[in-house]
């Protein structure tokens, strides 16, 4: 079982780096919860591959800095769609 978890942590990390992916998007692709992705990345990955962890952490830090912008765009899109539906 332990080998499976370690393999998943590395695959999650590689996916995040390759696709500049968020935790939410990564979880959806792998069919696991956001909590699982976060735990694997923050707990297992640093012990398995510290270099990969640092790269993943950099991507996640950028995502965190930009999340308010993505949220604003989603809200804007929502209200534009509602406006078009009313007209």
Neighbours of 56 (CB within 10 A): 24
Cβ atoms of 44 and 6 within 8 Å: the answer is yes
pLDDT in tens, 6-37: 999 999 999 999 999 999 999 999 999 999 99
Enter the pTM of the model: 0.75
Sequence-ordered list of residues with C-beta below 8 angstroms from that of 86, at least 6 positions apart, any chain = none
Domain that holds residue 30: 2-86
- Count: domains in the chain: 1
pLDDT in tens, 37-84: 999 999 999 999 999 999 999 999 998 887 666 667 778 788 888 888
């Amino acid at each position: 079982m332990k080998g499976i978890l370690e393999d998943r942590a590395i695959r999650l990390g590689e996916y995040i780096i390759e696709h500049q992916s968020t935790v939410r998007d990564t979880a959806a692709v792998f069919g696991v919860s956001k909590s699982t992705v976060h735990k694997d990345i923050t707990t297992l990955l640093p012990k398995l591959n510290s270099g990969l962890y640092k790269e993943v952490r950099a991507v996640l830090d950028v995502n965190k800095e930009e999340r308010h912008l993505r949220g604003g765009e989603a809200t804007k899109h929502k209200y534009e769609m509602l406006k078009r539906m009313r007209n």
